[in-house]
Amino acid sequence: MSESQELRVGIVGYGMMGRCHSYGYAAAPRIRPGDVRFRPVVMSGRNESAVAKASRDCGIEVYVTDWRELVERRDVDVVDICTPPGTHAEIAIAAAAAGKSVICEKPLATNYADAARARDAVVSAGVQHAVGFNYRRLPAVSLLKEMVEGGELGEVRLWRGTWLSDEFVDPTIPFDWRFEAAMGGTTICDLGSHLVDMALWMLGPIAEVSATSSTFVHERTVPGGVRPVEIDDASSALIRFASGAQGTMEVARVAPRRPCDFVVEVNGSKGTAVFSYNQLNELWFASVDDDPRLYGMRRIRAEHPLQPETHGWWPIGQGVGYDASFVNQAADLAATWSHSRWVPSFVEGAEVAAVCESMERSVKTRRWVAVNDVAGEQ
**10-residue averages of pLDDT along the chain (378 residues):** 78 98 98 97 98 98 98 98 98 98 98 98 98 98 98 98 98 98 98 98 98 98 98 98 98 97 98 97 98 96 96 94 97 96 98 98 98 91
Q: What is the pTM of this model?
A: 0.97
Please give the Cα distance from 179 to 177 (Å, whole number).
Answer: 5
Using CB atoms within 10 A of its CB, is residue 343 exposed (0-12), middle (13-18) or buried (19+)?
middle
176-192 burial string, b = 16+ CB within 10 Å, else e? eebbbbebbbbbbbbbb
pLDDT, residue 377, reads 81
Please give the Cα distance from 329 to 247 (Å, whole number).
Answer: 27
Q: What are the structural domains, with CATH classification, of the chain?
A: 6-134 (3.40.50.720), 136-321+353-362 (3.30.360.10)
pLDDT, residue 3, reads 54
The residue among 34, 37, 43 whose CA lies nearest residue 25 is 37
